[in-house]
Chain A
Amino acid sequence: MKLPSFEYLRARSLAEAWALHSDAGGDAVYLSGGHSVVPSMALRLQAPSRLIDISQIAELHGVELQDQTLRIGAMTRHAEVLANPLIARHAPLLSRAAPHVAHPAIRNRGTIGGNLALADPASEFPAAVLAMRAELEVMGPEGQRMIAADDFFLDLYETALIPGEVLTAIHVPLPPEGRLFGFDEIARRRGDYAMVGVAAQADMSDGVVSDASVTLFSVGVAPTRATAAQDALEGAPLSSDSIARAQAALATDLDPPDDPGFPAERRLQLARVLLGRVLTRMEAVQ
């Protein structure tokens, strides 16, 4: 379908973006890669009267190593997330998630900032960012805010962004040597949205797990931290025993939607199976 009419404006700075946004009285949408905005307008899911193109704002670009974090600009496209060596080294959950995000041509346009700001519950990057305990750098007319990923994804397509604020970058804490990472999803075809997905990381000290972080996606309205599963892993060696306990704990952590075509119990079962696979692979590489 064709898009409804709208006004298109290109912002060259953050200040200009905020001004254009407030000027539209709430009837404006930021445009990064446009690969969610454009199809949703074609489907008449939304029809804002103004699109503000923020893709050329300098603060949103670049991937750079800072003191304690890797700063990934919001405009970093999925294809760049997939290929960037700094991301592969310091934020490997993103590199591992990227091949599952849509299809190659969509990855050439979609951006990590747009993906996180949209917060689709079936989307890969939000769960990866949550698992890595990243912080989101957000700038608005009132100044800059750093929001922990745990406080960012609030509900279905709902984030902690206040209207007008721009997500400028993702800060991933640099991982210690030897951290274990795992990522996988179950989808009907490669590139489709996941039926269920898992992102996990864990540090080992003296042979036992010291800091487990386990998140799932496509299991509810937002990416979900599996705290009971984390507790089951904490302080024990990564073994078939602790993995089985973590799998069982998912019944406490998750409350998946009950669709007629995809009952909650089946989704929970897929989540258990997938968590088992991911943790077993992490056990094997340690």
Chain B
Amino acid sequence: MKVLLSTTVNGEQVQEAVLPRTSLADFLREDLGLTGTHLGCEMGACGACLVLMDGVPVHACLVLAVQAEGSTIETIEGLNETGAAADLQAHFHDRNALQCGFCTNGMLMSAQALLEANPVPTRDEIRDALSGNYCRCTGYEAIVDAIDTTARDRAARTEAAK
């Protein structure tokens, strides 16, 4: 039996009837057409499906859509719209931190959350924050570089603004 779900996705109030077995990732992709959230393993291992739920990254493949009742979801499409991660995305581009791009959305979610909690992380801390994100193309080094550069850029801008 379907259950009525109301939640906020990328700033918009959404009301839909969903089957309990629908994951948040399938709800976003299939009901709302937000296909930037990718699905790889569907068991919490790869990190392609990360979204921000009430401000923190979660695996959309392991959250049931019905568990998102009353919460605030932000997907990569939302980050694109607000431009909150535009500099991070630019550094990924500059540093060739993506090839096929399948993992990139999840990487950006982990990186954005890390930099909010810890504005100038060490490279080890960056690697730790990415421990649940698989990339089969880049070998990670470029991704760590891009996040590192973004962190230092943001810190320099904050310092300059003082």
A residues within 8 Å of B by Cβ? 1-8, 10, 31, 34-35, 38-39, 42-43, 51, 53, 55, 79, 99, 102-106, 108-109, 189-191
Quick check: A7 and B1 within 8 Å, CB to CB?
yes
Main SS at interface, chain A? loop
Quick check: B110 and A105 within 8 Å, CB to CB?
yes
B129 in the interface, Cβ–Cβ < 8 Å?
A: yes
Please, how many angstroms separate the alpha-carbon atoms of A191 and B69 in the complex?
29
Quick check: A108 and B56 within 8 Å, CB to CB?
yes
Contacting residues, chain B, for A55 (C-beta < 8 A): 67
Cβ-closest chain B residue relative to A39: B43
B146 in the interface, Cβ–Cβ < 8 Å?
A: no
Minimal beta-carbon separation of B162 from chain A (angstroms): 28
Contacting residues, chain B, for A4 (C-beta < 8 A): 21
Best-surrounded residue of B62, B66, B132 (most CB of chain A within 10 A): B62
B residues within 8 Å of A by Cβ? 1, 3, 19-21, 23, 26, 42-44, 47, 50, 53, 56-59, 61-64, 66-67, 69, 109-110, 113-114, 127-129, 131-132
Main SS at interface, chain B? mixed
Cβ-closest chain B residue relative to A102: B132
Contacting residues, chain A, for B66 (C-beta < 8 A): 8, 53
Quick check: B20 and A6 within 8 Å, CB to CB?
yes
Contacting residues, chain A, for B131 (C-beta < 8 A): 103-104, 189-191
Minimal beta-carbon separation of A262 from chain B (angstroms): 20
Quick check: B23 and A106 within 8 Å, CB to CB?
no
Please, how many angstroms separate the alpha-carbon atoms of A1 and B63 in the complex?
14
Contacting residues, chain A, for B61 (C-beta < 8 A): 42
Cβ-closest chain B residue relative to A40: B43
Minimal beta-carbon separation of B19 from chain A (angstroms): 7
Quick check: B19 and A38 within 8 Å, CB to CB?
no
Cβ-closest chain A residue relative to B106: A105
| Cβ contact of B56, chosen from A8, A79, A189, cutoff 8 A | A79
Please, how many angstroms separate the alpha-carbon atoms of A4 and B131 in the complex?
29
Quick check: A105 and B43 within 8 Å, CB to CB?
no
**Given A5-B19, A105-B57, residue A39 in contact with residue B129 (CB < 8 A):** no
Quick check: B47 and A190 within 8 Å, CB to CB?
no
**Given A42-B42, A104-B132, residue A2 in contact with residue B21 (CB < 8 A):** yes
Please, how many angstroms separate the alpha-carbon atoms of A189 and B57 in the complex?
20
